[in-house]
Structure 1
């Protein structure tokens, strides 16, 4: 199974925001600079994360984005469910001739559930716990000098 770049960018942005002090705002521009990704794509990602309740957006001159929940409250499985089309196979379009006897959909559903069960055991906080190396990589270069 391979996640879409959309989910990849979503996890990256959530991880960055999780390293910030609680309530501190950042910008989409800052997130795109850190990861070197397309701003247009990141705008869509942040918008979706906002609608899903993971990111809070603040409008205005002193606005920005931040986590809407504590990192301990954001489960990795929850993020994937909100972003990914988890139906791995569509047996209805076009109609599949072997549908009445096929067991593949059942196996793929079982595999997807196992994948999600593993992700459900972890939160954003787990990705940061005892991970000073990750936190250090998020510090802007201009503050180090």
Structure 2
């Protein structure tokens, strides 16, 4: 199983925001610069994260983006659920004529549940707390940003 780039960069954007001092605003442009991703792609990602309450988008002259919840309250599994199409195969009867008797869909469903169970045991805070290497990598090109979280 491979996560889509949409989910991958969504997780990275959240990690970046969680690495900032609490409640500090950043911008989509700053996140795109750090990760070298298309601004249009990141706008779509941030919009989705905002729709599900994981990002708070502040409008106006001094606006920006920040986490919508405390990093300790954001489970990695919830992020993946919000971003990722988790159906591994198309089991609609129009697509697959063995759907009524198929056991594979049960096995795949159990695999997805196990995957999400593992992700649910980790929070966004687990990714950033006491991770000085991450702080150095994220902010070495942005010395004006404080890394004292």
Greater RCO, CA 8 A, separation 6+? 2
Q: Which residue of 2 aligns with 1:108?
A: 108
Aligned residue for 2:147?
A: none
Write out the 4+ residue segments of structure 1 that deviate beyond 4 Å after TM superposition: none
Matches within 5 A, 1:18-97: 18-92=18-92, 94-97=94-97
Secondary structure of the 1:57 match is strand
Q: Which runs of 5+ in 2 are unaligned?
A: 145-149
CA RMSD of aligned residues (A): 1.3
Deviation at 1:13, TM superposition (A): 0.3
Secondary structure at the counterpart of residue 100 of structure 2: coil
- For 2:93 and 2:100, locate their aligned partners in 1 and report how far apart those are by CA, in whole Å: 15
Gaps of 5+ in 1: none
Aligned to 2:69, the other structure's residue is in SS state coil
- Could you say which residue in structure 2 is the equivalent of 1:127? 127
Q: CA deviation at 1:92?
A: 1.1
In the alignment, is the contact (CA less than 8 A) between 2:57 and 2:64 conserved in 1? yes
TM-score of the pair, normalised by structure 2: 0.92
What are the Cα deviations for residues 86-137 of structure 1, in whole angstroms up to 9, with x where unaligned? 1112211534222233211000000000000000000010011331100111
SS where residue 56 of structure 1 aligns?
strand
The TM-score normalised by the length of structure 1 is 0.94
